[in-house]
Chain A
Amino acid sequence: MAGRNLPLWPLGILVLLLVAASFAIGQFPVSLNDLLNLTFGKLFGPSPHVSSLVATVIFEVRLPRVLGALLVGGALAAAGAAYQGMFRNPLVSPDILGVSAGAGLGAVLGIFLSLTPAGVQALAFVFGLAAVALVYAIAARVRGNDPVLVLVLAGVVIGSLVGALISLLKIIADPYDQLPAMTFWLLGSLANVDVGDLKIAFPVVSLSLLPLYLLRWRMNILILHDEEGRALGVDTATLRIVFIIAATLMTSAVVAIGGMVGWVGLVIPHIARMLVGPEFGRLLPASMLLGAGFLLLVDNVARSITSSEIPLGILTALIGAPFFLWLLAAGRKPWQ
């Protein structure tokens, strides 16, 4: 297949350029000159040429947001690539086991109880993990020939159960104060990401990426039938649990800070697979770069196109859904 051996560095450079451009985009004008001066100032000592207001905008407003977009996009795409391989299904996204739904319930509950933003995030994180743990526990109790199918079905059921609880909370919430906050959170946004969030989310995501990276070649074997993988000498059950824990932790961490941003984890791994093939050692970095770049681009649009913020989930769906349909219509079966 063409393009299998595409090098990854051009993609990396593209993302870096996008990052640089992102600092200049926004309501407050920042010139290229300011940007360069600030960068060199940080590296080689303070520069006298830039006003402190510009520095504040760059380092305290835009930097956390840019880093947040990279982290959320990269982590969602990496988790999506892992889940799609693990479940041998290219139509799977990171929320297949109910992590987003669980996190959504946690966040909505946090808002309902008028917790602090940090409290809402913590609750989202814990509920996301709890939902997946519940799904896994149910699947482990059901005897079946196809453990993967049972897991996915349990995920669908728990997801819709949790969805009902979210709706219930929305109905009994204060419609003027709490409901808009809930709706906004459920649609995803990076508007409130600050350095403190990143200090928690970044280590969690890095730590979860480590097993995905170290076991990247073995991931390919999970795509085979379970029995085939085991006959090749691989303990597929343990490997699958490790991957599920890693991908779930990572998704929970970024959903807790960015809300429910759909489509990234589904569409980005497809594009990555078209570019570099399904071999996970190449698919993982390609997915992360594409996911980080894509979400940064979308977030730039979300914060600059109108004077008020557009929720990220709306934009990713508006872009992701037609793109996916185009893939289908163009006969480029996204999974082949």
Chain B
Amino acid sequence: MRLATHNLAFGYAHKTVGHDVSLTVESGQIVCVLGANGSGKSTLFKTLLGLLKPRGGDITLDDESVLAWPRRRLAQTMAYVPQAHADYFPFTVLDTVLMGRAARVNLFAVPSQRDREAALTALHTLRIAELKDEPYARISGGQRQLVLIARALAQEAKILVMDEPTSSLDFGNRVRLLEYVRLLACEGLGIIFSTHDPDQALACADIVALLHQGRLLRCGQPQEVITRENLRLIYGVNVDMLGAPYSAHRVCIL
């Protein structure tokens, strides 16, 4: 499975946020979209998911344009993991994950035993099965983010689109989440996630796309793309790059 954008222009009804973005995500690959606040990451992702109409260009899945696809078919292929948020009503974790089955349950039907099993499997994959009867509103922020990932897994999509999945998490949960992202890619999912933290891109991405003022500044291997010069350009700050101890990765230091 290969998700690609071709000279994509995106934005809102009266305002183009970005243009000329050509990106690909393949099964088993982690693509990280790195950019400052306001660089257009979220708008790009909403356009990918079909929530906003592209202002130009094309989005394809395995070379077939998806622009005319019905919502249900899109959701069977691509899943969205939003930032964890508080819920309005006390749904249980299992109920929340079951909602991921919406694109697979018939219009007038309720989830079947098979749907329940898919939801439970997703919870097991993320090792949070013991939370299944807890109200979603009462679990921690880190756990909520995992529940939303579980919901995307229950959707049985091939591509996960994650909008700043680590932004509300503490250090430990951030590391754990990135480990899961790696694990899911190893199992064959294509993952595209956004972050404003270059260290996360260095730690787990196969491809890094630098988004700057709505345009793709660079796209390639993390080591080649995340450089002093590029970071100064997109964030306007000076950092040094250091090799991290015990790893091939590098980290950014001030």
Mark A residues whose CB is within 8 Å of B: 1, 4, 85, 88-90, 143, 214-218, 220-221, 223-225, 227-235, 273, 277-279, 281, 335-336
Contacts and interface: CB of A to CB of B under 8 A. Distances in A.
Given A217-B105, A217-B109, A217-B110, A231 B90 contact: no
By CB atoms of chain A within 10 A, which of B49, B50, B91 has the most?
B91
Nearest to B151: A232
Contacts of A223: 87-89, 91
Contacts of B155: 232-233
A335 B88 CA distance: 8
B200 to A, nearest CB: 23
A85 B89 CA distance: 8
B71 A235 contact: yes
Interface stretch (B2-10, B16-24, B74-82): B74-82
B106 to A, nearest CB: 10
A277 B88 CA distance: 12
Given A215-B108, A232-B75, A221 B88 contact: no
Interface of B: 13, 46, 49-51, 71-76, 78-80, 82, 85, 87-92, 95, 99-100, 102-103, 105, 107-111, 133, 135, 137, 155
B189 to A, nearest CB: 16
Given A217-B110, A231-B51, A234-B102, A88 B88 contact: yes
A267 to B, nearest CB: 16
B89 A335 contact: yes
A93 to B, nearest CB: 16
Contact of A279 (B46, B76, B95, B105): B95
Contact of B99 (A1, A85, A214, A232): A232
A216 B105 CA distance: 12
Contact of A233 (B71, B92, B110): B71
B91 A220 contact: yes
A283 to B, nearest CB: 9
Contacts, number: 91
A225 B83 CA distance: 11
By CB atoms of chain B within 10 A, which of A217, A279, A336 has the most?
A217
Given A234-B71, A335-B88, A214 B108 contact: yes
Given A232-B102, A277-B90, 15 more contacts: A215-B107, A217-B110, A218-B102, A223-B89, A225-B82, A227-B82, A231-B80, A232-B155, A233-B102, A273-B89, A277-B91, A277-B92, A278-B90, A281-B110, A336-B137
Contact of B103 (A88, A232, A335): A232
Contacts of B73: 233
Contacts of A228: 80, 82
28 contacts: A1-B135, A4-B92, A143-B13, A214-B108, A217-B110, A217-B111, A220-B95, A223-B91, A225-B85, A227-B46, A228-B82, A230-B51, A231-B51, A231-B75, A231-B78, A231-B79, A231-B80, A232-B103, A233-B75, A233-B103, A235-B71, A273-B89, A273-B90, A278-B90, A279-B91, A281-B110, A335-B88, A336-B135
Contacts of A89: 88
By CB atoms of chain B within 10 A, which of A1, A223, A230, A233 has the most?
A233
A176 to B, nearest CB: 49
Nearest to A333: B90
Contact of B76 (A1, A216, A233): A233
Contacts of A215: 107-108
Contacts of B135: 1, 336
Contacts of A233: 71-76, 102-103, 155
A214 B109 CA distance: 7
B112 to A, nearest CB: 11
Given A227-B46, A230-B51, A230-B71, A278 B91 contact: yes
A220 B108 CA distance: 13
Nearest to B111: A217
Contacts of B100: 232
A336 B50 CA distance: 32
A230 B46 CA distance: 11
Q: Which 8 A-B pairs have the closest CB atoms?
A: A233-B75, A233-B103, A231-B80, A278-B89, A233-B72, A217-B110, A214-B108, A232-B102
Nearest to A5: B133
Contacts of B137: 336
